[in-house]
Structure 1
Amino acid sequence: VFVTLTCAFRYGREDLDVLGLSFRKDLYISTFQAFPPLPDEKKPLSRLQERLLKKLGEQAYPFYFMIPQNLPCSVTLQPGPEDTGKACGVDFEIRAFCAKAVDEKIHKRNSVRLVIRKVQYAPEKPVRQYADICLFSTAQYKCPVAQTEADLVRVHLQCERVSPKMQSTKKRTRTAIPANVKREICLFHEQNPKASRDCVIRHVFKGHRLALGRSTISDILKEKEKWLFRLPTDTSTKARTPQQQRLEDALFLWFSEARARAMPVSDEILITKAKSVGERLGVPETFSYSVGWLQRFKQRRKIRFYKRHGRAASEGGAAVTDARRVLKAFLRGYDLNDIYSMGESGLFFRMEPNAALGPVSGKKRNTQRLTVALCVNALGTDKRKPLVVWECKRPHCFERDFDPNRVCCWRWNENARMTALLFEEWLQEFDRSMRVRNRHVVLLLHSTPAHKNTAEQLTNVSLRFLPPDTTSAIQPLDAGIIRNFRALYRRQQLQHYVRCVDAGKPQDVNIKEALYLVRDSWQQVSAATISNCWRHCDILPTHPEPAAPGSEEANTTAEVIRSISEILTRLPGTAGVTPDSILRADEDAPISETLADDGFVELARHCAPDSASETQDEDDRAPPRPATAREARRGLESALAYAEQNPDLFGIGEIDCIRGLIKKTAAVGHQNARQTTLCEYFRQ
């Protein structure tokens, strides 16, 4: 049986103990072995001990402690109303426990505790008393605890209420973090992905003198996509969601189209239009279309009013010449890699070859259309992923696991046409990708209602709108890039129809197959074709270098047209159909439209069906059964055997790719395999 005396200094609440740090310091510890008694430690019994031994009997064993004089007295700070547990101060505790050794881990049921107090007595003579308190190191800091005056003849007692201000006991103060600081944190983390939270905290404190915690940094990085879209000049500390989001979306669509038509719009016109749109959207009557709401709407959409001066340039050749001169001067400060152009094209993706000349044998022409937006730089080294707009979100052919965004930028609305909201979303993503690469680029655009976006929202992309009646001459995409893309798509589509005829299947292309054809066609557009189209427009300050004499431009429009002519001869029912008629079928496909009031409301509601079918003809077709790992492995093994038997057609790299796919499917099948029971075996 051992007995210990402990003098401890507690300078924090028990519930503040974190990360193994205890707000308690043991000032003195003394241990005494009570049983079996040691002969060396026997001392004369005190009067109290003698009386206790008479009462308790021979099974009682006395123990002794000598408290050093330099230990502080028992001091307890008055706890606050919200404090729990032991109070701060100095306390003495005696603990008796049973153990084989002093350093053995003690169970609570084998020990007993007793708290005692050491009281300081102030003598009549003047004397200075000290208390040695060690906080975080072995150094001792002496400070006077009590002092008597010479003229006092009696003990002077005074109660003092002490309220220590410690960092751990302070109430947490909220720090308002501006949006541009959060954006800088996200950019720093993207540029230094391996940086720790402490490194990010030091970076913010060095630049903005803001002391942030690790949890705050983690919360900001969780919403990285949100803060990266904010402007560097945005110092707002609150990002509130508008009360009527659909109303503001519809109003912004109407404002974009009105600005594209050069219509004057004032605050009164905006409020009147907002009330009209709000009635169709079912906005509550209690909603106030106040001037304050209008100002916040303009701030969120970065709308500002300005005075108009003069008129547009005159039409004809003079306008084209003037536009080329202005563009050359504007683009002189940009590298050719940083000059981009974007354009849209309508595409009748399911059009059959005999439908290009009109109805045949009573069959109606298939006019299902999607909108494809293409974007590329002047050298053709950066072809952005195609933006495809379709009329529903999840067609039946997508099934459950297909993600269209892996193939293209997938967007949808009821009319399958480009709108200001879709363009704004794509433009913000394009600006973010340039910001991550630390590039400042310029984007050439048509002057259409869907493209009318506010340039103040962008940080690394400058918009340049081409004059209205000059795009056919100075827009590189209209100069031959889009035509080459359409020709490549039609060639792949016709090749697909040939395979369907050979397999005895109907000639048809669903939207899922069309997405792959769009991606493959855009990848086949050569950089030489793109450079030639930019050179033909004559808008660059320096022309791209021409191709080397030994290298030839691949997949030219003329070559593709000849391939289409050969394919048409292998398809039945295509007599009289020319490649030119097939390529011109998409020229009149609308890509954007002038919306009426109801059109803005419907687009704001996003009322396109999520699971609508592509056509009524496809509703009767059952979805294909998902392929199993075993079926996939057998098909790949057949493909591997065919590739090995035809070394002239397949290289060793392609064979290795097939072998890798076989290994991956075998691993998936092994993971999904399960052991069957004997009953299941005999049932088979």
Structure 2
Amino acid sequence: MERRKSKTLTLCERIEVLKKLKNGQSQTSIAREYGVNPGQISRISKREHQLLGDWRSNRNPRRKRKRAGKAEEVEEALLRWFSQVRSRQFPVSGPLLTEKAGQLAGCLGLTEFKATVGWLERWKRRNDITFKKQHGERQDADDSGAENWVVSVLPSILNEYAPRDIFNADETGLYWRAIPDGTLAFKRSTPTGSKASEERLTILLCCNTDGGEKPEPLVIGKSKQPRCFQNVKRLPVSYRANANSWMTGDLRKQWLKDLNTRRRAQKRPILLLCDNSAAHNAPVRLSRVKLVFLPPNTTSLIQPLDQGIIANFKAHYRALLLRRLTGLMDGQTGDNKRAIELARSLSLLDSLHLQKEAWNRVTQATIIKCYRRARFVKDAGRDQTNAATASVADQQAADIPAGVSKEQFHRYVAVDCSLQTAGDSTDVELCACKQATAADEASDQMSSEAPIRQPPATFATALDGLSTIRAYLENTGCQSYERFYRLADLIYETQRHRSARRTITDYFKKAK
């Protein structure tokens, strides 16, 4: 009797088997369809969680067996490094990979490891890596990779999680003191410019599919304790600092742990989509947050935040910034400062408040629309086609200040769109070694501004401010005082919580 040749399904075929099982098809019929033993279908069903994890981590779809090399830790670290450098379009050769593998092995303490040509070829086959000639000078989005992810991975995500439990998080750079670079002028005059402000921050934004939840932004600056933070009990956003104002693996891990803690308190697991940048590859254990990484070079096509949410946030921020600067110019009595000088007077604390207000102004409808463009809603074809036009329309939804054209405002919003938000992972981080970052802490201390002692605002000064605001509203013929009354209620309520409970007679005891 001729022995039947055994057949092993690829990772892609196993994912298809899981879909058929979920649709109610029997294991026997699936085994007959693929020409395999029913026991293999049963083992696939039991390993569903592991297989889906490998698939979402963009493992080789043609892989049949998960073979570990002679140094699995080195292979994992080298794969993370390869993804990191290729995300920046750096050309990688075989000799460079073997040299880097040797360095990573040394970092891991594997002194006997040797990266041979045969080992490298097997590592490339296991991770579906092949040589390709570079064309052109521009980094192109991977349309086929994005389409494959949308067709093969996204449906399982949408089936397992409700829209309110699917989140996307991403960083963006912000020149927080930048002003527009053009102006209307008389034909005979020559407008003088000034050096554009490049004081930068990195902001992490996060929201869910239905737009119902927008966790407060995480802002990363250079100074650990700016003097404008003095006497401030609570900032409007989460704030962290390092020497480059970049997202790092440690900052990212802490943010994820805080997010996980909040979800554990709510007893609510969520799925978090993010790109595969260097800062996102830091290993972290989470019980209520499931991380799913998008394929390389696809974020401009399928990441919801890149479909207009970040652009809409920046449009609101820059509109609020220009409104503030215009108000300062209108309120000048004799000190005629230029716009760039007024922008330099803006403190980091002022900017954080503007960022918080701008994030609040990003509407639920805008978020849903951007998730639809990213194909998270089935009727996404029309929005995907018009994504670029709609993104500009979202920016124009912000209150564009008078005197700034739509084209100029669009250019102003995009001034920092390509700003780097994270540095490359070090060999220690690639190898997931836990080492203290004393050097980073020292650089934070050096970059901190020296605090200047200034008296804190008191309840009495707040009441004086209320009187000034009310007088201004009365003199200008204000039609409604409702917002002013709410501001007064907020100040009195804050003072009531701070002070001890007293009776009216307490204020007359000293007069006896």
TM-score by length of 2: 0.61
- List gaps (5 residues or longer) in structure 1: 1-251, 275-288, 292-304, 547-552, 570-575, 678-684
Structure 2 counterpart of 1:283: none
1:351 and 1:611 map into 2 onto residues whose CA distance is 25
Q: Give me the identity figure in percent.
A: 25
Specify the code of the residue in structure 1 equivalent to 2:155. Answer: A
| Correspondence 1:496 to 2:296 | no
| Residue aligned with 1:418, SS | coil
2:456 and 2:468 map into 1 onto residues whose CA distance is 19
Selected match of 1:581 from 394, 408, 411: 411
* Per-residue Cα deviation, 1:205-255 (whole angstroms, up to 9, x for no partner): xxxxxxxxxxxxxxxxxxxxxxxxxxxxxxxxxxxxxxxxxxxxxxx9999
Selected match of 1:525 from 338, 357, 362: 362
Greater fraction of residues in strand? 1
1:632 and 1:526 map into 2 onto residues whose CA distance is 32
Structure 2 counterpart of 1:444: 273
Selected match of 1:636 from 450, 463, 466: 466
2:270 and 2:257 map into 1 onto residues whose CA distance is 13
* Per-residue Cα deviation, 1:603-653 (whole angstroms, up to 9, x for no partner): 552222337456xxxx8x9665433432222222343455678663332x7
* Per-residue Cα deviation, 1:403-459 (whole angstroms, up to 9, x for no partner): 45x42121111110111111111111111211111112111111111111436x111
Aligned residue pair count: 374
Specify the code of the residue in structure 2 equivalent to 1:310. Answer: D
More moved, 372-381 vs 253-262: 253-262
Q: CA deviation at 1:479?
A: 0.5
2:407 and 2:472 map into 1 onto residues whose CA distance is 36
Structure 2 counterpart of 1:476: 304
**What RMSD in Å do the two structures reach over aligned CA positions?**
4.5
Structure 1 counterpart of 2:170: 343
1:595 and 1:353 map into 2 onto residues whose CA distance is 34
Selected match of 2:400 from 551, 564, 586: 564
Q: CA deviation at 1:461?
A: 1.3
Structure 1 counterpart of 2:353: 516
| Residue aligned with 1:384, SS | coil
Structure 2 counterpart of 1:140: none
* Per-residue Cα deviation, 1:110-129 (whole angstroms, up to 9, x for no partner): xxxxxxxxxxxxxxxxxxxx
In the alignment, is the contact (CA less than 8 A) between 1:474 and 1:538 conserved in 2? yes
| Residue aligned with 2:479, SS | coil
Q: CA deviation at 1:385?
A: 1.0
2:320 and 2:77 map into 1 onto residues whose CA distance is 36
Q: CA deviation at 1:664?
A: 5.4
1:403 and 1:255 map into 2 onto residues whose CA distance is 44
1:538 and 1:577 map into 2 onto residues whose CA distance is 28
1:665 and 1:394 map into 2 onto residues whose CA distance is 26
Specify the code of the residue in structure 2 equivalent to 1:470. Answer: T
Q: Between the two structures, name the one with larger relative contact order (CA 8 Å, sep ≥ 6).
A: 2
Specify the code of the residue in structure 1 equivalent to 2:232. Answer: F
Structure 1 counterpart of 2:68: none
Counterparts in 2 of 1:347-496, with a 5 A limit?
Answer: 347-354=174-181, 361=192, 363-399=194-230, 401-403=231-233, 406-454=235-283, 457-496=285-324
Specify the code of the residue in structure 2 equivalent to 1:590. Answer: Q
1:519 and 1:498 map into 2 onto residues whose CA distance is 20
Structure 2 counterpart of 1:626: 456
Q: CA deviation at 1:321?
A: 1.7
1:265 and 1:384 map into 2 onto residues whose CA distance is 42
Q: Which has the larger radius of gyration?
A: 1
In the alignment, is the contact (CA less than 8 A) between 2:210 and 2:368 conserved in 1? yes
Counterparts in 2 of 1:182-221, with a 5 A limit?
Answer: none
1:479 and 1:593 map into 2 onto residues whose CA distance is 24
| Residue aligned with 1:635, SS | helix
In the alignment, is the contact (CA less than 8 A) between 1:441 and 1:461 conserved in 2? yes
Q: CA deviation at 1:373?
A: 0.7
1:599 and 1:424 map into 2 onto residues whose CA distance is 12
- List gaps (5 residues or longer) in structure 2: 1-75, 87-96, 112-122, 133-140, 185-190, 384-389
In the alignment, is the contact (CA less than 8 A) between 1:629 and 1:669 conserved in 2? no
Question: Residues 423 and 319 from structure 1, CA distance in 2 versus in 1: closer, same or farther, beyond 3 angstroms?
Answer: same
Q: CA deviation at 1:599?
A: 11
Question: Residues 306 and 437 from structure 1, CA distance in 2 versus in 1: closer, same or farther, beyond 3 angstroms?
Answer: farther
Counterparts in 2 of 1:147-166, with a 5 A limit?
Answer: none
Structure 2 counterpart of 1:321: 147
Q: CA deviation at 1:470?
A: 1.4
Question: Residues 627 and 428 from structure 1, CA distance in 2 versus in 1: closer, same or farther, beyond 3 angstroms?
Answer: closer
Greater fraction of residues in helix? 2
More moved, 587-596 vs 311-320: 311-320
In the alignment, is the contact (CA less than 8 A) between 1:325 and 1:539 conserved in 2? no
In the alignment, is the contact (CA less than 8 A) between 1:491 and 1:560 conserved in 2? no
Specify the code of the residue in structure 2 equivalent to 1:375. Answer: C
More moved, 655-664 vs 387-396: 655-664
* Per-residue Cα deviation, 1:524-570 (whole angstroms, up to 9, x for no partner): 00000000001111134687xx9xxxxxx9x9625346x3252548x
| Residue aligned with 2:171, SS | strand
| Residue aligned with 1:428, SS | helix
Structure 2 counterpart of 1:310: 128
Specify the code of the residue in structure 2 equivalent to 1:329. Answer: P
Specify the code of the residue in structure 1 equivalent to 2:317. Answer: Y
Structure 2 counterpart of 1:590: 420
Specify the code of the residue in structure 2 equivalent to 1:272. Answer: G
